[in-house]
């Protein structure tokens, strides 16, 4: 970033940028290496808030005003050239590799990203529901952070001008900023419980992080100075807070809520500590290697994610060798961008009109034209772009909730107990109830096959992410999004279940692997066993890591992908399946059911059967896959079928 002539360059801040970008990149490669590495983005927010606010305060000191046109001119010169250098190749590569629907989504995200609204696009378009597909294959997802920053800077110059013009006391300025800071932070902590996606992507719940850096800038502007010893202490506390955040904070923590606060405050302290004195920590951060990485950090951040996304989309395992290639390629492209795109175009002396035309309007026209041409090509789908014949042969892979006869609810209603659509075959009164969560519902296709073969009628009624236990206790591990429906389900399902001859129970057992669940589930099964003729508990299906339901479609453009050879998983049972199986052995009328005979051969399990995909995601069967397994089990006379043969006998 080009600094105001009266602002002293600080190499330690570039070193801090290096720490931030490396933590983000390594986290995105493998989140187990640095569990809190994503906090590097939060560090960037603090640095940005500090530097931009410091520049604005110096401009007001010099001219008693802020030139809004010059401010946005600087932002455009800083952001757009490097961004466009990433967007154009990303679109072209996406056209070569992506399926039509995925490519159209990429085009949309590129337009929103160019106009600094990627966060709004991804918040509104990414499926964050129970069956949400992985987001690590979206090449421009990381640009949400640029959207947050640029939206913040739409209003921030006016607020800084107001504070420095009309609020003379530094205490009152800090009080005003601190109030907004607290409102944003508290809002983030509260909203993240009900709407994690909004809290993560949107400005109102991220503003406090930028305001933290802005507060540091206002203190510096007011002449903040401390003794060298105090600065050393602040620097140590700051870097320790950052490093502890990398180690102990994870994706499961409320981010951007209170869990991010130590990192934000630590970054602020680290910046404050180097205002008038170079601390020991500052000297380490000022090492040439750190400074060099920091200088290209913006471009490195822009490039690393599309590279990883394309590799993952191509189903290439990111092992150690690939990791090294990713790092080398990222920093080569970042260096090219910095020296041949960012720096030259930022240093020219074009007037405001030329900057807006050459840096914004012309690129917007190019991007729009390119997108329109690609859309037209995709609409006509010539054979050289995509083979419809091959596409038609791809096995239909849809989750069970896409079918009307699946009564899986995100917020359960007792309509499931009376609706005809939940019953199969409809001509008879149901004597079998399928209950549980989505891991019960994904057996519907299979059970419909068994219903036809063995002559019983089933009603299905399930609630997403809800443990099938008969109580109204509050469990901290139940997703808040589904808590209300889950409570309704648990309060009513027992009265419904005891009306049936047979009850089939399914669940995502690994997600409930807690002592309190095991106790409650054991009690629930004991109750059922006493009140119904037969209980069948469905085992958790083998988990297929990195599985993609779109593999067959992707292989049309990427023939090197061998779908049936990928995604194999070890055949070792998840530990809680053993608990479930052992529980069934206590009762003569409770049985355990698993599909492992069909999906696993020895120690290897596959999401494919007869060269057709069985799964929708890595832990759920598709409806078509579920049905196919049922048919193959009957064909092979699988021993597990005994539990269904006994129904109605």
Q: Long-range contact list for 177-181, CB < 8 A, 24+ apart?
A: 177/211, 177/214, 177/215, 177/218, 178/215, 180/207, 180/208, 180/211, 181/207, 181/208, 181/211, 181/212, 181/215
In this structure, is residue 103 part of a structural domain? Answer: yes
Which pLDDT belongs to residue 346? Answer: 80
Between 444 and 96, whose confidence is greater?
Answer: 444
pLDDT-wise least confident of 212-221, 284-293, 388-397, 554-563? 388-397
- Name the one residue in this structure whose structure tokens are 């607290």: 182
In this structure, is residue 438 part of a structural domain? Answer: yes
Overall average pLDDT of the 564-571 stretch:
60
Are residues 340 and 445 both part of a single domain?
no
CB contact at 8 A, 508 and 619: yes
Candidates 257, 99, 119; CA nearest to 192 is: 257
How confident is the prediction for the chain on average, in pLDDT?
89
Are residues 418 and 526 both part of a single domain?
yes
* Number of residues written out for the chain: 649
Each residue's pLDDT tens digit, 361-379: 998 998 888 888 888 877 7
In this structure, is residue 395 part of a structural domain? Answer: no
> Which CATH number characterizes residue 524's domain?
3.40.50.1110
In this structure, is residue 456 part of a structural domain? Answer: yes
Are residues 541 and 606 both part of a single domain?
yes
- What is the Cα gyration radius of the chain? 29
Last residue of a domain, one of 380, 413, 441: 380
Each residue's pLDDT tens digit, 55-64: 999 999 888 8
Are residues 307 and 352 both part of a single domain?
yes
Would residue 59 be called left, alpha or beta, if left means φ above 0 and alpha means ψ between -120 and 50 degrees?
alpha
Between 439 and 616, whose confidence is greater?
Answer: 439
Each residue's pLDDT tens digit, 204-217: 999 999 999 999 99
pLDDT band for position 569 (cuts 50, 70, 90) = low
Each residue's pLDDT tens digit, 305-319: 999 999 999 888 899
DSSP designation for 126: S
Which pLDDT belongs to residue 568? Answer: 60
Which pLDDT belongs to residue 276? Answer: 84
pLDDT band for position 322 (cuts 50, 70, 90) = very high
Residue 281 has pLDDT above 50, yes or no: yes
Are residues 357 and 417 both part of a single domain?
no
Overall average pLDDT of the 101-107 stretch:
89
- Please, where are the H alpha helices in 98-206? 100-114, 118-125, 144-166, 170-194, 196-201
% of the chain residues with pLDDT over 70: 93
Last residue of a domain, one of 324, 352, 380: 380
Which pLDDT belongs to residue 252? Answer: 82
In this structure, is residue 393 part of a structural domain? Answer: no
Each residue's pLDDT tens digit, 459-480: 999 999 999 999 988 888 888 8
Are residues 406 and 306 both part of a single domain?
no
- Please, where are the H alpha helices in 381-514? 388-393, 438-441, 444-454, 483-497
Total number of domains in the chain: 2
For the CA atoms of 81, 82, 85, 87, the dihedral, rounded to the nearest 10 degrees, stands at -100
In this structure, is residue 517 part of a structural domain? Answer: yes
Are residues 416 and 337 both part of a single domain?
no
Are residues 256 and 330 both part of a single domain?
yes
Are residues 365 and 474 both part of a single domain?
no
Which pLDDT belongs to residue 540? Answer: 93
Are residues 98 and 149 both part of a single domain?
yes
Each residue's pLDDT tens digit, 511-537: 999 999 999 999 999 999 999 999 999
Which pLDDT belongs to residue 315? Answer: 84
In this structure, is residue 391 part of a structural domain? Answer: no
Question: Which domain does 300 fall in, by range?
Answer: 11-380
Are residues 441 and 333 both part of a single domain?
no
User: Can you tell me the distance from the alpha carbon of 509 to that of 204, in angstroms, rounded to the nearest whole number?
Assistant: 37
* pTM of the complete model: 0.81
Are residues 420 and 355 both part of a single domain?
no
Last residue of a domain, one of 327, 349, 380: 380
Strands (E), 539-633: 569-570, 590-593, 600-601, 604-605, 608-609, 612-613, 615-617, 620-621
Residue 496 has pLDDT above 90, yes or no: yes
In this structure, is residue 301 part of a structural domain? Answer: yes
């Amino acid at each position: 970033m080009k600094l105001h002539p009266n602002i002293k360059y600080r190499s330690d801040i570039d070193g801090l940028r290096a720490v931030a970008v490396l933590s983000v990149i390594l986290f995105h490669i493998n989140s187990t290496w640095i569990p809190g590495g994503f906090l590097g983005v939060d560090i960037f927010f603090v640095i940005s808030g500090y530097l931009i606010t410091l520049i604005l305060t110096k401009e007001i000191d010099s001219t008693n005003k802020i030139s809004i046109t010059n401010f946005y001119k600087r932002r455009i010169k800083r952001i757009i050239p490097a961004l466009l250098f990433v967007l154009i190749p990303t679109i072209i590569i996406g056209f070569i590799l992506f399926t039509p629907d995925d490519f159209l989504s990429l085009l949309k995200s590129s337009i929103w990203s160019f106009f600094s609204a990627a966060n709004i696009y991804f918040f509104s378009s990414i499926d964050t529901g129970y069956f949400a597909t992985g987001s690590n294959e979206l090449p421009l997802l990381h640009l949400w952070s640029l959207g947050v920053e640029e939206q913040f800077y739409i209003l921030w110059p006016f607020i800084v001008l107001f504070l420095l013009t009309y609020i003379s006391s530094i205490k009152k300025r800090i009080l005003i900023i601190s109030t907004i800071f607290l409102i944003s932070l508290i809002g983030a902590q509260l909203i993240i419980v009900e709407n994690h996606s909004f809290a993560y992507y949107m400005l109102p719940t991220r503003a406090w992080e930028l305001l933290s850096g802005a507060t540091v800038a206002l203190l510096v502007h007011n002449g903040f100075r401390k003794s060298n010893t105090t600065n050393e202490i602040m620097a140590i506390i700051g870097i320790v807070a950052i490093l502890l955040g990398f180690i102990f904070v994870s994706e499961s923590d409320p981010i951007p809520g209170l869990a991010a606060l130590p990192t934000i405050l630590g970054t602020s302290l680290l910046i404050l500590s180097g205002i008038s004195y170079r601390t020991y920590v500052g000297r380490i951060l000022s090492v040439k290697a750190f400074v060099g990485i920091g200088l290209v950090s913006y471009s490195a951040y822009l490039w690393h994610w599309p590279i990883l996304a394309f590799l993952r989309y191509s189903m290439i395992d990111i092992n150690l060798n690939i990791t090294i290639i990713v790092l080398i390629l990222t920093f080569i492209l970042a260096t090219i961008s910095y020296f041949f795109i960012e720096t030259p175009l930022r240093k020219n002396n074009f007037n405001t009109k030329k900057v807006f035309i050459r840096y914004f309007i012309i690129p917007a026209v190019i991007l729009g034209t390119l997108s329109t041409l690609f859309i037209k090509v995709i609409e006509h789908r010539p054979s050289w772009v995509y083979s419809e014949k091959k596409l038609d042969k791809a096995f239909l892979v849809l989750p069970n909730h896409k079918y009307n006869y699946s009564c899986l609810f995100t917020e359960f209603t007792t309509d499931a107990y009376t609706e005809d659509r939940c019953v199969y075959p409809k001509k008879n009164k149901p004597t079998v109830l399928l209950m549980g969560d989505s891991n019960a519902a994904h057996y519907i296709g299979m059970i419909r096959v068994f219903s036809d073969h063995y002559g019983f009628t089933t009603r299905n009624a399930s609630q997403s992410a809800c443990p099938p236990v008969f109580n109204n206790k509050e469990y901290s591990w139940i997703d808040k999004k589904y808590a209300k429906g889950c409570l309704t389900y648990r309060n009513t399902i027992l009265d419904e279940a005891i009306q049936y001859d047979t009850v089939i129970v399914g669940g995502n057992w690994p997600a409930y692997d807690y002592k309190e669940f095991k106790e409650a589930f054991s009690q629930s099964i004991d109750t059922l066993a006493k009140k119904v003729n037969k209980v069948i508990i469905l085992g958790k299906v083998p988990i297929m890591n990195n599985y993609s339901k779109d593999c067959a479609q992707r292989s049309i453009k990427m023939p090197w992908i061998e779908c049936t050879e990928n995604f194999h998983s070890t055949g070792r049972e998840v530990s809680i399946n053993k608990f479930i199986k052992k529980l069934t052995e206590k009762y003569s009328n409770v049985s355990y059911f698993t599909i492992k005979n069909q999906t696993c051969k020895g120690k290897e399990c596959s999401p494919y059967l007869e060269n057709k995909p069985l799964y929708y995601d890595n832990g759920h069967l598709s409806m078509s896959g579920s049905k196919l397994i049922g048919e193959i089990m009957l064909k092979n006379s699988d021993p597990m079928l005994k539990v269904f043969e006994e129904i109605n006998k």
